[in-house]
C-alpha cells in the first residue's frame, strides 16, 4: 500500500508515460556528465581581500581555463588582462574606459567573443537546462543563444556577430560584459565548502558573509570562531564578551561598530571611567600597520581590559552553573591572592602582571559590578536586535552544521576528540556520555536549540553549549586542553600559557585511527578523506597539510595574516573536480587595487592528491545516487502505467 501511495504521488508530477520516460532520459543523461567542481576553503578569519580573490579565481581554476583556451592565440599579458577582468569586471572596466580615448567598440566586441569561449568551456559539463538557470534574467535569452549553437543557421559567425553588434549599438556592452564575468565563476565552481572560522582577527567577516550568501550551492562546517558569534547573536553574555574581546585584541572593533552597527559607546564610557589611570599594558592591541588609527590605542586598551575582566567573570559563572562541563580548573579569579598579587594554577603560585582590578570583589569574584551588568545588558540588546548580524547567523544555521559527509569526504573544522590510546574521548552532554559522531550530533542538536528553540531551559542549555564548543577541552571545534586566555594576559610563564592539542593531531597519521573515524561516520575507508582546518600548518616545523598518505587533508594554511610568518604562505584550498582532488597553496596578495592595476594574480601551486585517468561522472557522486533512486522509482511508475495499476492522466495524455 505504501508503494502504491508513493507511485500515485509520483504520478501527480509525471501524469503520462511520455513525461515519465522523458524524465528518465533526462536524469540518465545527467548521470553521464562529468561531476561538478567542488571548492574547499577554511579559516577565512575576516581576510576578505585575500579570500574574495581566491573565490573569484576559483583557486586558480579560471586562470587555467584561460591558459588552456588561449595559450596559442593570446599573449601572456592579454591572458592576464582577461583574467583580471573576469575577477573584477566593474573596476577593470572603469580603468579601461577612463584610460581610453578611442571608441571602445572593438574592445567590447573582442572581449565578448573571448568571454563566450571561456563560458562555453566552463559550462561544458552541465546540461543546457542547468546553465539556463544560472544565467542572469536580464540577458538570459541572449547569453543562451551565444553559448549554444543554433541549429539551422546558415552563417553562424555572421549570426553571432550581429547579436554582439546589437549589444554594443544599444549601449549594453558594459553590463553584458559584467554579467558574463559574474557567470563564469559560478559555472567554474559548482559547490563551495567553507570549513569554518569565517569570523575574528581580520577586518571583513561581514563582507565575507555577504559574499557567501550569494552562492547557490554552499555548505559551512562551523568553526569555534563561528559558534561564539552564533552564541553572541543568541544573546549569550559570555559569548558576547568573547566576541568583543577578540575584536579589541586585534584592533578590529570596526567590524562590530561599522560593519554591523553595534553601539559600543556604553562599554567605551565604562572602560574610560573605570580604567582612566590604568595604562592597561597587559591588554595591548595587535593592530595592523596602515589599517589602524593609533590614536585609538589607549582607549582600545581600556575597552580590551574592561571586556576581558567581564568575560572572566561571566565564564566563571557559567562553569559554576554547569559542573557537568568539567571545566572547574578554569576558575581562576577565586585563586588570586589579592594581597600578594599572585594566582595559583595547578598548585603553583605565579605573580600577576597586572594588579589593578577595581571591579572584582575578592569575596564574590565572579559577580559583575552594577556598572558591568548594565553595560552587558545594553550589549545583549544590541546584538540580539541587530538585523544584519541576525541575517548572517540565520544563514550559518540554515547552510551550516558541525560536520558533513559529502562525496566520500568527511568535512569538519577541528578534530575528533581522542584519548591517548586512540579511542574516542567521551563527554557528558545533557546527561548522556557521547563520543565520536554521537558527540557531534548531540552538540549540534543543542547548538540549534540555542538559537532556534523556544525560550526555556533547553535554549539556555544550548546557549551554554555554544560557549562550550568555543572553549572546552572536549569540544571537537577547539581541540586543546584549555583556552589559556587568562594566563596569556596576566602570567608571564610560558608553561602555563601553553595549550596542549588533543591527541587527534598526533594520532591522525595512523591508518587504524583514520579507519575507525570513517567507520564511525559511515564512510568507506578505502575511498574517503578527512578534510579539516583549525590548526595552521607550521611549515617551519616541517608540518604538511597532507597527512596519513593523503587520507587526511588539513587546509588551514594562514589566510589570517598573524599566522603567515608561521605558515610561510597565505592559505590552502582544495579543488575536487572530475579529474580528482588537488591541493592548492597560495601566496598573499597586496590588495585588490594593486591586483586590478597591475593585472596580477595570486601565485598558487597545485599538488594532486588523487588524479584519475577517467573523469569522475555525476553517477559516481552523492547526487548521482539520488538520481539513480529517482530513475528506479520512475521505472516502477512506467511499469505501473503499462500494467494498468495506475492510469495516465486524460488531460495531459
Residue 142 lies in a domain: yes
Residue 268 lies in a domain: no
In 435-579, DSSP assigns E strands to 529-532, 546-547, 552-554, 572-577
Per DSSP bridges, beta strands 580-586 and 572-577 are antiparallel
Beta-bridge partner residues of 361: 364
CA distance 139 to 455: 47
The answer on 69 and 26 residing in a single domain is: no
The answer on 71 and 173 residing in a single domain is: yes
pLDDT tens for each residue of 499-527: 999 999 999 999 999 999 999 999 999 99
Measured in Å, how far apart are the chain's first and last C-alpha atoms?
26
The answer on 89 and 21 residing in a single domain is: no
CA distance 349 to 347: 7
Report the pLDDT value the prediction gives residue 565, as an integer from 0 to 100: 62
CA distance 63 to 606: 13
pLDDT along the chain (653 residues), means of 10: 83 94 95 94 92 91 93 93 94 90 89 94 89 92 86 73 93 95 94 95 94 96 97 98 97 95 97 95 89 88 98 98 95 96 96 96 97 98 97 98 97 96 96 97 97 90 98 96 96 94 95 97 95 83 88 84 64 92 84 81 82 94 96 94 86 53
Evaluated on CA atoms 507, 509, 512, 515, the torsion sign reads positive
Residue 337 lies in a domain: no
- Kindly tell me the burial class for residue 31, based on how many C-beta atoms sit within 10 Å of its own C-beta (0-12, 13-18, 19 or more): middle
The answer on 98 and 18 residing in a single domain is: no
> What's the domain count of the chain?
2
The answer on 184 and 69 residing in a single domain is: yes
Say how many C-beta atoms besides its own lie within 10 A of residue 325's C-beta.
22
- 36 to each of 190, 348, 575, 615, 619, how far by Cα in Å? 5, 57, 11, 11, 11
Residue 104 lies in a domain: yes
Residue 98 lies in a domain: yes
* Residue ending a domain, choose from 188, 209, 227: 188
Q: Which domain holds residue 140?
A: 59-188
Report the pLDDT value the prediction gives residue 324, as an integer from 0 to 100: 95
The answer on 184 and 78 residing in a single domain is: yes
The answer on 67 and 156 residing in a single domain is: yes
The answer on 184 and 102 residing in a single domain is: yes
pLDDT tens for each residue of 384-419: 999 999 999 999 999 999 999 999 999 999 999 999
Report the pLDDT value the prediction gives residue 564, as an integer from 0 to 100: 63
In this prediction the pTM is 0.94
Residue 67 lies in a domain: yes
Residue 176 lies in a domain: yes
* Residue ending a domain, choose from 161, 188, 215: 188
The answer on 117 and 15 residing in a single domain is: no
CA distance 309 to 415: 30
The answer on 102 and 20 residing in a single domain is: no
Of 228, 205, 253, the closest CA to residue 311 belongs to: 228
- 44 to each of 206, 223, 564, how far by Cα in Å? 12, 10, 13
The answer on 70 and 150 residing in a single domain is: yes
The answer on 98 and 6 residing in a single domain is: no
Report the pLDDT value the prediction gives residue 563, as an integer from 0 to 100: 66
Beta-bridge partner residues of 531: 411, 553
CA distance 546 to 313: 41
* Residue ending a domain, choose from 170, 188, 206: 188
Following DSSP, what letter does each residue of 46-109 receive, concatenated? T-HHHHHHHHHHTTTHHHHHHHHHHTTTS-HHHHHHHHHHHHSHHHHHHHHHHH--S--HHHHH
Report the pLDDT value the prediction gives residue 88, as an integer from 0 to 100: 94
Of 565, 606, 610, the closest CA to residue 583 belongs to: 606
Residue 183 lies in a domain: yes
HEC assignment per residue over 157-185: HHHHHHHHHHHHHCCCHHHHHHHHHHHHH
Number of H helices, E strands in the chain: 28, 17
Following DSSP, what letter does each residue of 586-613 receive, concatenated? EPPPS-HHHHHHHT----EEEEEEEE-S
Amino acid at each position: 500500500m505504501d508503494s502504491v501511495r508513493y507511485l500515485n504521488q509520483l504520478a501527480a508530477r509525471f501524469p503520462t508515460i511520455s513525461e515519465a520516460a522523458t524524465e528518465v532520459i533526462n536524469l540518465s543523461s545527467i548521470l553521464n556528465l562529468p561531476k561538478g567542481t567542488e571548492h574547499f576553503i577554511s579559516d577565512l578569519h575576516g581576510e576578505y581581500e585575500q579570500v574574495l580573490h581566491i573565490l573569484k579565481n576559483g583557486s586558480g581554476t579560471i586562470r587555467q581555463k584561460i591558459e588552456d583556451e588561449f595559450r596559442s592565440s593570446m599573449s601572456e599579458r592579454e591572458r592576464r588582462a582577461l583574467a583580471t577582468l573576469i575577477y573584477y569586471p566593474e573596476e577593470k572596466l572603469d580603468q579601461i574606459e577612463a584610460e581610453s580615448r578611442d571608441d571602445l567598440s572593438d574592445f567590447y566586441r573582442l572581449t565578448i567573443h573571448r568571454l563566450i569561449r571561456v563560458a562555453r568551456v566552463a559550462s561544458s559539463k552541465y546540461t543546457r537546462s542547468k546553465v539556463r538557470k544560472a544565467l542572469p534574467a536580464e540577458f538570459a535569452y541572449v547569453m543562451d543563444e551565444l553559448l549554444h549553437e543554433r541549429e539551422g543557421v546558415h552563417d553562424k559567425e555572421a549570426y553571432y556577430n550581429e547579436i554582439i553588434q546589437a549589444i554594443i549599438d544599444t549601449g549594453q556592452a558594459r553590463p553584458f560584459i559584467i554579467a558574463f564575468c559574474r557567470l563564469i565563476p559560478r559555472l567554474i565552481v559548482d559547490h563551495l565548502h567553507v570549513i569554518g572560522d569565517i569570523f575574528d582577527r581580520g577586518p571583513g567577516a561581514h563582507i565575507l558573509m555577504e559574499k557567501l550568501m550569494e552562492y547557490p550551492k554552499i555548505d559551512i562546517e562551523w568553526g569555534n570562531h563561528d559558534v561564539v558569534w552564533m552564541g553572541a547573536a543568541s544573546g549569550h553574555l559570555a559569548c558576547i564578551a568573547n566576541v568583543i574581546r577578540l575584536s579589541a585584541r586585534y584592533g578590529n572593533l570596526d567590524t562590530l561598530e561599522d560593519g554591523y552597527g553595534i553601539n559600543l559607546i556604553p562599554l567605551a564610557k565604562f572602560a574610560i571611567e573605570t580604567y582612566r589611570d590604568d595604562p592597561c599594558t597587559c591588554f595591548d592591541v595587535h593592530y595592523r600597520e596602515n589599517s589602524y588609527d593609533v590614536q585609538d590605542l589607549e582607549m582600545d586598551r581600556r575597552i580590551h581590559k574592561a571586556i576581558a575582566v567581564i568575560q572572566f567573570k561571566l565564564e566563571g559563572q557559567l562553569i559554576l552553573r554547569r559542573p557537568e562541563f568539567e571545566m572547574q580548573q578554569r576558575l581562576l579569579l577565586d585563586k588570586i591572592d589579592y594581597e600578594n598579587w599572585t594566582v595559583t594554577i595547578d598548585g603553583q603560585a605565579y605573580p600577576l602582571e597586572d594588579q589593578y582590578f577595581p571591579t572584582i570583589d575578592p569575596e564574590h569574584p565572579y559577580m559583575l559590578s552594577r556598572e558591568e551588568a548594565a553595560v552587558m545588558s545594553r550589549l545583549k540588546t544590541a546584538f540580539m536586535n541587530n538585523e544584519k548580524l541576525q541575517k548572517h547567523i540565520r544563514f550559518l544555521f540554515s547552510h551550516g552544521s558541525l560536520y558533513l559527509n559529502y562525496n566520500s569526504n568527511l568535512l569538519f573544522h577541528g578534530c575528533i576528540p581522542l584519548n591517548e590510546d586512540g579511542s574516542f574521548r567521551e563527554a557528558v552532554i545533557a546527561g548522556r556520555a557521547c563520543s565520536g559522531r554521537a558527540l557531534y550530533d548531540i552538540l549540534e542538536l543543542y547548538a540549534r536549540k540555542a538559537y532556534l528553540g523556544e525560550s526555556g531551559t533547553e535554549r539556555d542549555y544550548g546557549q551554554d553549549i555554544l560557549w562550550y564548543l568555543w572553549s572546552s577541552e572536549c569540544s571537537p571545534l577547539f581541540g586543546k586542553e584549555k583556552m589559556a586566555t587568562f594566563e596569556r594576559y596576566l602570567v608571564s610563564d610560558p608553561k602555563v600559557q601553553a595549550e596542549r592539542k588533543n591527541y587527534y593531531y598526533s594520532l591522525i597519521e595512523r591508518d587504524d585511527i583514520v579507519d575507525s573515524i570513517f567507520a564511525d561516520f559511515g564512510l568507506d575507508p578505502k575511498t574517503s578523506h578527512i578534510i579539516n582546518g583549525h590548526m595552521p600548518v607550521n611549515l617551519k616545523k616541517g608540518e604538511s597539510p597532507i597527512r596519513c598518505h593523503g587520507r587526511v587533508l588539513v587546509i588551514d594554511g594562514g589566510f589570517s595574516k598573524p599566522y603567515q610568518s608561521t605558515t610561510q604562505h597565505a592559505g590552502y584550498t582544495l579543488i575536487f573536480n572530475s579529474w580528482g582532488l588537488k591541493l592548492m597553496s597560495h601566496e598573499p596578495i597586496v590588495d585588490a587595487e594593486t591586483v586590478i592595476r597591475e593585472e596580477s594574480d595570486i601565485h598558487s601551486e597545485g599538488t594532486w592528491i588523487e588524479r584519475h585517468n577517467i573523469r569522475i561522472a555525476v553517477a559516481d557522486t552523492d547526487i548521482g545516487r539520488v538520481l539513480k533512486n529517482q530513475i528506479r522509482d520512475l521505472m516502477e511508475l512506467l511499469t505501473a502505467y503499462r500494467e494498468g495499476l495506475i492510469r495516465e492522466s486524460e488531460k495531459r495524455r
